[in-house]
Amino acid sequence: MSIVPVAAEKHSSPPKMSTLVFIFAVSFLTIACHAAPRGQCKANRDNTVSYTGFQVWTITPHSKAKQSTLMKIIRHYNLEMWKETNEIHEPVNIMVPPRYQKEIRLRLEEVKIPYDVEISDLQKAISNENPRTNASAANPKAAHQMDWTSYHRLDDIYGYLTYLADRYPCRVQLLNVGSSYEGRPLYVVHITNSTSPNTPAIWVDGGFHAREWISPALATYIIQQLVEEPSNAKLLVNVNWYIMPVVNPDGYEYTHLKNRLWRKTRSPTGSSSAKCQGVDLNRNFDFKWGGPGSSSNPCSQVYKGPSAFSEPETLAYSNFISSKSNEIKLYLSLHSSGQLIMLPWGYERNTFPSDYDEMLTLAKNAACKFRKFTYKVGNKVDLLYQASGNSADWAKSIGIKYVYSVELPINGFILPASNILPVSQDFFRAMDVFAAEVSTLSAV
Ligand SMILES: *[C@@H]1O[C@H](CO)[C@@H](O)[C@H](O)[C@H]1NC(C)=O
Ligand SMILES: *[C@@H]1O[C@H](CO)[C@@H](O)[C@H](O)[C@H]1NC(C)=O
Ligand SMILES: [Zn+2]
């Protein structure tokens, strides 16, 4: 996703005496606004960014000419794309601020590009996404507050991991592999029921991008199933698991507290604009860092950071995986959305690892297991876009055999919590295929 600096905001005429009080009253609200994408920004009373009136449109160009016209419009208004594709018969999703809706509608009609309004009021969709769960209110003394009927704050997720490590000390270890920029612990859960030192392992991570809430939800669901569901014991036979459910905890908390659509980390970049904070962790890896599909502009959603592994999150993550690179045979990084299982390389078009076909066969076998949602399987650049410095390319570059990044269902970042279980249950079926393959390998 490509975002360039915000155009200068229009300022109203100098304040009159009568408006000074009003300005004082609202000034604290507007601070958070600068973190919103460009467009009319209002803040809610609780100082969160409001997306009232923002819409998400779906557009399928169907011809190269129309695709190019559409891209010009998107660039002209600096619209954020929620879903990109190079394929002209596939829809793209764009977020349209209220103040441009009429103008863009007219331009699209002029060039005969039809569009559908997929979300007519983004703030309503956000408000309806995550009905407050009763669990904690109902039972504050429960051993943990986690469930998969709502999206949880970091405390609930970490509380659950701690609970599992206490409750199942032989099979679950909670590894603190570092700290985020704001000082939150970075946890990897190690799940094992094996004593052999040659046991191969599967890596799963979620929460690289803060707003992709379904990803930590699924990662924690996989942990729950592996640890607490006896019928999944076969998945632990000659396979160890390392699962990091929230790679970007600072960003994740920020999406709960301030701006639901924040993507990057929260580290300062030297820019004073709130929108220009943070690094895209998935462009910060030390493999082909800084190439096409990443940006050196801190205000970009794909800002690569000042140097490879400049961020404490990617540094801790890569140090940990490097230390287990003999063990880890399969790597799975969970993102949303798009229903894609993507294979390296992502830094360049038409460039493939030598064992690409083996990776492809296993991924296709895994995708065959899904019943509810259909995923496309293929090369990352073909299915999505070029992205230099991404984590999956790096994982492949250090020699991990099977490397996949996943775009989960369904469409966009706002996925009502009632979808967590259907998406997770469906995806978990693929674990059989992955574990069966990895169990035949040996950690060396
Ligand atoms: C809250 O609890 C009530 C009563 O226990 C239940 O009927 C309701 O479905 C719960 N709501 C949520 C969102 O879980
Ligand atoms: C762990 O392994 C032992 C022996 O191999 C087996 O009996 C047991 O059921 C396994 N437990 C789980 C939870 O996988
Ligand atoms: Zn992502």
Q: Phi, psi at residue 43, to the nearest 5°?
A: -110, 145
Helix (H) or strand (E) holding 173: strand 172-179
Say whether pLDDT at 24 is over 80: no
Measured from the Cα of 193, ligand 2's closest atom is: 1
pLDDT digits 0-9 by tens, 277-298: 999 999 999 999 999 999 999 9
What integer best gives the mean pLDDT of the chain? 90
Q: What letter represents residue 89's amino acid? A: H
pLDDT digits 0-9 by tens, 242-261: 999 999 999 999 999 999 99
CA 327–ligand 3 middle distance (angstroms): 25
Percentage of the chain surpassing pLDDT 90?
A: 84
CA 148–ligand 1 middle distance (angstroms): 14
Say whether pLDDT at 86 is over 50: yes
Phi-psi region of 82 (alpha: psi -120 to 50; beta: other; left: phi over 0): alpha
CA 134–ligand 1 middle distance (angstroms): 6
Residues lining ligand 1, Cβ inside 6 A: 131, 133-134
pLDDT digits 0-9 by tens, 117-158: 999 999 999 999 998 765 555 677 889 999 999 999 999 999
Measured from the Cα of 135, ligand 1's closest atom is: 14
When pLDDT is cut at 50, 70 and 90, the band that residue 44 belongs to is low
Say whether pLDDT at 4 is over 50: no
Measured from the Cα of 232, ligand 2's closest atom is: 14
Q: Is 430 helix (H, G, I), strand (E, B) or coil?
A: helix
The average pLDDT across 231-240 equals: 98
CA 249–ligand 3 middle distance (angstroms): 14
CA 154–ligand 3 middle distance (angstroms): 18
Say whether pLDDT at 190 is over 70: yes
7-16, 292-301, 362-371: which has the minimum mean pLDDT?
A: 7-16
Whole-angstrom distance, CA of residue 395 vs CA of residue 398: 5
Q: Are 108 and 61 in contact (CB under 8 A)?
A: no
Query: Which of 47, 49, 48, 73 minimizes the C-alpha distance to 59?
Result: 73
Query: Which of 423, 404, 393 minimizes the C-alpha distance to 364?
Result: 404
Tokens 């600068």 map to which residue?
A: 34
Of 132, 134, 149, best ligand 1 pocket probe by most atoms within 8 Å of the beta carbon = 134
17-21, 200-204, 231-235, 393-397: which has the minimum mean pLDDT?
A: 17-21
When pLDDT is cut at 50, 70 and 90, the band that residue 7 belongs to is very low
Measured from the Cα of 233, ligand 2's closest atom is: 14
Say whether pLDDT at 337 is over 50: yes
Q: Are 179 and 192 in contact (CB under 8 A)?
A: no
Is 9 one of the catalytic residues?
no
pLDDT on residue 18: 41
Whole-angstrom distance, CA of residue 145 vs CA of residue 123: 27
Query: Which of 387, 392, 383 minimizes the C-alpha distance to 292?
Result: 387
The average pLDDT across 99-122 equals: 96
Domains of the chain (ranges; CATH) run 37-129 (3.30.70.340), 139-438 (3.40.630.10)
Q: How many CA atoms lie within 13 A of 149 on its CB side?
A: 7
| Nearest Cα residue to atom 1 of ligand 1 | 134
pLDDT digits 0-9 by tens, 342-356: 999 999 999 999 999
pLDDT on residue 34: 43
Output the CA–CA distances (angstroms, integers) from residue 106 to 24, 74, 193, in the order listed.
Answer: 38, 14, 61
Of 193, 235, 237, best ligand 2 pocket probe by most atoms within 8 Å of the beta carbon = 193
For residue 12, the 8-state DSSP code is P
Q: Which ligand is nearest to the CA of 148?
A: 1
Residues lining ligand 2, Cβ inside 6 A: 193, 233, 236
pLDDT digits 0-9 by tens, 404-414: 999 999 989 99
pLDDT higher for 388 or 12? 388
The average pLDDT across 266-276 equals: 92
Output the CA–CA distances (angstroms, integers) from residue 223 to 13, 35, 155, 373, 379, in the order listed.
Answer: 56, 33, 16, 21, 27
When pLDDT is cut at 50, 70 and 90, the band that residue 84 belongs to is confident
Query: Alpha helices of 130-247 — where are they, by DSSP H?
Result: 135-138, 154-167, 214-228
Q: Are 204 and 335 in contact (CB under 8 A)?
A: no
Q: Which ligand is nearest to the CA of 130?
A: 1
| Nearest Cα residue to atom 7 of ligand 1 | 134
Say whether pLDDT at 433 is over 90: yes
| Nearest Cα residue to atom 4 of ligand 2 | 193
Q: Phi, psi at residue 170, to the nearest 5°?
A: -75, -25
Tokens 């701690």 map to which residue?
A: 162
Percentage of the chain surpassing pLDDT 70?
A: 88
